[in-house]
Each structure stands twice: as C-alpha cells, then as structure tokens.
Chain A
Amino acid sequence: MTKENLKKVFLITFFIFTVFSVSFYFLGGDQLKYRNSSGNISMPDADSATEEIIAGTIVMQPFVNRVEDIEEMSVSFAKLYKDTQGKITVFLYDNEELLMKRTVDLSDMNETETVILRPDEPISGRKGHMLAIRIYATSEADQGVVALMRKDMPGSKFMFDEKMIDGTLCFSLTGRDENYLGKYYWYIVAVMELLLGGLLLKSYSDYLNNRSNLIVRAIAAVYHYKFLISQLVIRDFKSKYKRSILGVFWSFLNPLMTMTVQFLVFSTFFSSDTKNYPVYLLSGVVCFSFFNECTTMCLSSVSGNARLITKVYIPKYIFPLARTISSTVNLGISLVPLLLACLVLGTVLKPQAILFLYFVICLIVFSLGIGLFLSALMVFFRDIQFLWTVFTQIWMYATPIFYPAEIIPERFKFIVRLNPLYHFIGNARTCLINGISPEPRAYIFCLLFALVSLAIGAYTFKKTQDKFALYL
C-alpha cells in the first residue's frame, strides 16, 4: 500500500459518507422528520352503549393529550335501529378553545358508525394539555337521537348530560411526534463528518509518522491480501459449480425455486394479509439463504483449510472473510431474480428501495461476525456443525420469512424484537415493497446488531487463533 492508495481510500470514504448523508435526507422523507406518536390512543373495544342522546344533551369526554401533532380523532356511535332524524356534532376543545369540529347527519350514518375528524393541518402544541371531546345533538322532535359506545375503565369518567358516568367513550386519537434526529439532522451529519474527517486525518498522520494505527493496518491488510482473497473467492465459486451443467445459473434458480415451493405451500394461508406476498416471500428467502449459507460456509472455513493453516502462514481470518465474500457475491446474483420479481409482479420500485441495501450490508456484517465466532468454535468443538444446522432451522421458523410478523401473538413478540434477522429483513422489505424509509431508529438498531456481532466474533477469533494450529 502506498501513500496515494491510503489517501484515495480516505477520500472515497469521506465522499461516500457525504453522498449517503445527503441522499438519505431526501430518501428518508416524513419518516425522518416524524414518527408515529407514542401517545396515540387506540379505539377500545366497546362493551356497552350509553343512553341515547336527546337534543340539547351535552356529552363530554376529558382526556390528557400525549400526542405532539394530532392528525386524526374518531368517535364511535350506535343508532340502535331507530329511524331518527337529526344531526350530531363532535367538537374537540382545549379548555374553551375549539380545535376542530364535525357535524354528521344521522341519515348518512350506519347502525354503528365511527365518525372521523381530521384537521386541515395537524394540531400541534397541545401535548400535556387536558383536552375534551364534546358531542352535541340536534333533532326536530324531542326524542332520542343516537347513543355512544362506551367501555368500562377503572378510574376513567365522562360527563353525560351533567352526570358523571364511569368508563370511557370509545374514541381514538392518532398523530405524530417530531423526530429529534430529523429535526437536527444537518447538525448531526455535520458532527459526524467532523468526527470522521478528524479520524481519517489522525490515521493519515499516524501513517506518515509510522505510528501504529488500527485503521491504517486494516487497509494495508486489505491491500496486501486482496489478491489472495480474490483467489479464494474464485476458488469457492469454481469448485462449487464445477461439473454442474447450469453452473452459476443455479445462484439465480435456487432462490426462485425455494420461493416457488414456499409460495405454493403457504400462499393460501398468508397471501391475503400481506402486500405483494411473492416479493415479500422472495426477499425473505434471499436474505435468510444468504445468512444460512454464509454462516455454514464460515463454520468449516478454518477446519476445512487445516492443511494450509498448519503448513503456510496466512492470517487465519482470511478464510471466514473469503467465504463471506463468496456468499455476498452469491447474494448479489440472487438479487437479480428478486428485482425481476418486483418488476414482473408490479411492485413499483421507488427511489427509497435503494435503502434496502443498507440493511443487506448490516446483514452481511452480522453474518461475518457470527461466521468468525463459529469458525473459531468449530476448531475446538466439532459438534457445533451439527448443532448449528438445528439452530438455523429454529432461527428460520422464528423469523417472519414466509409468514407476516403480525400473526405472532403479543406475548411472543419480544422474541421477534430480539431477533436481529427480523430487523434486517423487515426493514429491507419496508424499503423494497412499501417504498418508504423505516424510521431512523431502525438504522441505528440494525447497525448496532451488526457491529456487536462483528465485535464478538472478531474478539473470539483473535483470542483463540493462536491455538488453531495445535487443534487442527
């Protein structure tokens, strides 16, 4: 590696980071600036109805608002099978200030009807305020007009015709909260650019002054071993497809065939709940096959090259790294059928779809970490290869690949949330299928999962690699 090489790598790194940060601002869209409010009130399941409201009755439901920008409110009514005439009006008040209202004619209402109120602009600046829903009815005859749905709720009360009644009206409130990451986006980017620039400059000066520097050493190692790595990757491919008639074409066919089989088996169960089920399935299959192939190949990478490791000096991490790169090339090839499927099955690829590469890269780093860990473990405990086969099976079923994440019962949701593969695959799908960027938190979580895995893998490998030659 020369001075020019290092300079080039650093400049490219800085340039890519800048391009990514700027384009992410535009691709991120509303998800970058806002997120679903944590103070949303969802519609409760009604267990009874109130008395009928007659003209002139005022119903008032007070509640504490925890939403920053209110976008929608709804209230549930029941007509109780009466053919009554009249109108009802729903108001939202902050003390005496009217925030929004809507009047509905009863003849337009179904037996049970949810009246939805949407402000023209999101109502903001009311977080922490005591708001009140008021409902008022008018009718020509002095008779019962309509009833409200209610639900028992300890400690909650509402006012019905100047009487306090236990329970709550059935209403919902949804909105968004501002995302601080989005609000201060350019400041955060500027700070990160400064940190990155400083780090690169420091590394460069370390290099010029012959001081040891982890980053410089890593780049030097890449330069030094790139030819070896490329040869090992080529070897993996050639020996994998040697003597098969279709050769590399199998990398296309495999995910397609797996998807077809799973589609035939599962489509009747799941395709109705899932948007664009074939693409959903194929993206999951491609990602999980990569993870499975990469970790399984890494597992045997050190023990399988025992002859080399005990005869020639090569940094041992080269072997799992080369296997990860071959799997990545394979993944790249199998992305082609995925994109084809998107086009054929009518998924409109928005610019945001490109963001899915971020989650794929996180998945690759994550798999490399696991691969390093497994390859080191395999030297000492050969049983791990059989355990791992079982473990990946369990992991596959625990990850929403062919079923939608929504069908998991609430009490098991935590398992899915702890599953890094769910995050990588789920977010990649959001970008690809829905064409929107996940919220910024998802990017940070996925990066953390990947880096923690890599750190654990690299640490285990480094600690044990000196003993490899003795156990192989």
Chain B
Amino acid sequence: MSDNMIEVKNVTMKFRMSDEPINSLKEIFTTAVSGKLKFNEFLALDDVSFELEKGKTLGLIGRNGAGKSTMLKLISGILKPTKGTIITRGNIVPMLELGAGFDLELTGKENIYLNGAILGYSKEYLESKYEEIVEFAEIRDFIDMPIRNYSSGMMARLAFSIASVVQPEILIVDEILAVGDVAFQEKSFARMKELMTGGATVLFVSHDLEKIEEMCDKVIWLNKGKVVMFGDTDDVCNAYRKAQGIKE
C-alpha cells in the first residue's frame, strides 16, 4: 500500500446551474413545456490531480471562486466528482463550518454529544473528552442551558472545542478558525497549530499567505478550476504573489 493518504486523479467537477433554481414539479413542468429549461454548466474543477503523503500539509491557494472549497468538499466526501477518482485512507475530519449540527432547543451538553456524533466520534471518546471540551470552551456555567440562549461567541467557542478534540488522520481546514475574543483566538490558534503539526495529514485553505508559508509543505495554486502550479511552498507562494501584484 502506498504512503499517499490522499490521491486525486483527473478530477472534474461540473455544476449544472439553471438560471433560476427549479425545485418544484410545477416549475419543471412549465419550463420544460415552454422550452426554457436550460442549464448553464459551470466547471468548478477541471482535470485536477495531486497526491499527498502521510503527515504532510498541503495548502490550497487561489482567488475566490477558484475551486478551493469544492476541492475540500470533494475530499471530505460531501460531493462526488463528475469525473475522476478520489482515494483517501484514514478517517477524515472536515473543519469546514463549525456547529453545523447544533440544535438550538438542546442544552450545551446535549449538543456536545449530538455534534460529536455527527463528527463521527464514538460515545466512549466523547465521554472521555467531555470535560476537556467544556473546559476549553469556557462555558461550564451555561452547559445545561438551551443554546438558543447562548451568545454567538459562546456558540462559536463550543463548536470549536467540539471540533478540535479530534485526533484525525486527515484534517481538512477551511481558513484557520479564530473565534471569540482575543484571548480565545490565541488559544484556538494554538490548538489548530497543535492539531496540524500533530502528525495528521492536513489540507489547508487560506488567503493568508504567511500562514500558508508557516504551515505547509506543499502548495497548490488553483485558478478557475485549473491547477496553475503545484510544488514547494516557497516557489508557489512567490509565483502567486507575483501574479497578484503583491510585493514580497
């Protein structure tokens, strides 16, 4: 078996976008009858291939709409590619949007279990990490309160704490999630760094080139769905800076 944790081969992703969203029978019917049912094809990724070895960190850079988030969603299994194959080995933890599974009616404690289950943790693991999560999120006094009463900062802290207790083999990060007040931001940044350097294979999207340079072993530069450059961090970042007209 090869050492590659992620293998992406000739992946193409097309979205069919109708001019207006059509999602009812009546609309399908009327547009089909009137001959207006047309889809614009949008190529989000075009023949992208790369491999990532175990323990390495790969950065994805590119302008908005370059296909970075689509790539992350494809690798985490949320989307299936139109063409090509993606092979991943090991458990994947996507930190794309935190707290997606929160239920506002439930208490903080109940949400820790619900969200942990959604992220794929086992019951035993969550029980052993429960104290750590509550401690890290600094919400002990409010843990038995429905989270609809939480402030947005508390909710974000709780979500981050739940998501970051994992020991993933593949970690997928869409921007370093710095949430909460300054003190918590520092704490969460330290935790992220710990996770990303802790032996996991990491896929990391950021607009912050300095952080990319700090964390990544290799970088892919995407533009309009195509790979512009794939190589060592310094080379790709410098080329990207030049193209964007940013001074070093």
Contact = CB atoms under 8 A, between A and B. Distances in A.
B16 interface: yes
A314 B25 contact: no
Interface stretch (B50-58, B73-81, B176-184, B217-225): B73-81
Interface string B56-94: 000000000000000001001111100000000000101
Contact of B118 (A228, A243, A380): A228
A382 B22 CA distance: 9
B122 interface: yes
A234 B101 CA distance: 14
Query: Chain A interface secondary structure, helix, strand, loop or mixed?
Result: helix
A107 B92 CA distance: 92
A311 B26 CA distance: 29
Interface string A259-292: 0000000000000000000000000000000000
Contacts of B28: 381
Interface of A: 227-228, 230-232, 234-235, 238-239, 242-243, 307-314, 380-384, 387, 466, 469-471
B101 A312 contact: yes
B123 interface: yes
Contacts of B24: 381-383
Interface in B157-195: none
A308 B23 CA distance: 19
B15 A312 contact: no
B106 A235 contact: yes
A227 B122 contact: yes
Contacts of A234: 110, 114
Contacts of A383: 24-26
A308 B118 contact: yes
Nearest to A381: B25
B213 interface: no
A239 B106 contact: yes
B17 to A, nearest CB: 9
Given A312-B100, A382-B23, A242 B105 contact: yes
Contact of B78 (A310, A382, A471): A310
Contacts of B80: 466
Contact of A309 (B25, B78, B122, B146): B78
Given A227-B117, A235-B114, A470-B16, A311 B100 contact: yes
Most B CB within 10 A of own CB, among A243, A313, A383:
A313
28 contacts: A227-B117, A227-B121, A227-B122, A228-B118, A231-B113, A231-B118, A232-B117, A235-B114, A238-B110, A239-B103, A239-B106, A242-B105, A310-B73, A311-B78, A311-B96, A312-B76, A312-B94, A312-B100, A312-B119, A313-B92, A380-B23, A382-B23, A383-B25, A383-B26, A384-B25, A387-B25, A469-B78, A470-B79
B118 A314 contact: yes
B106 A312 contact: no
B232 interface: no
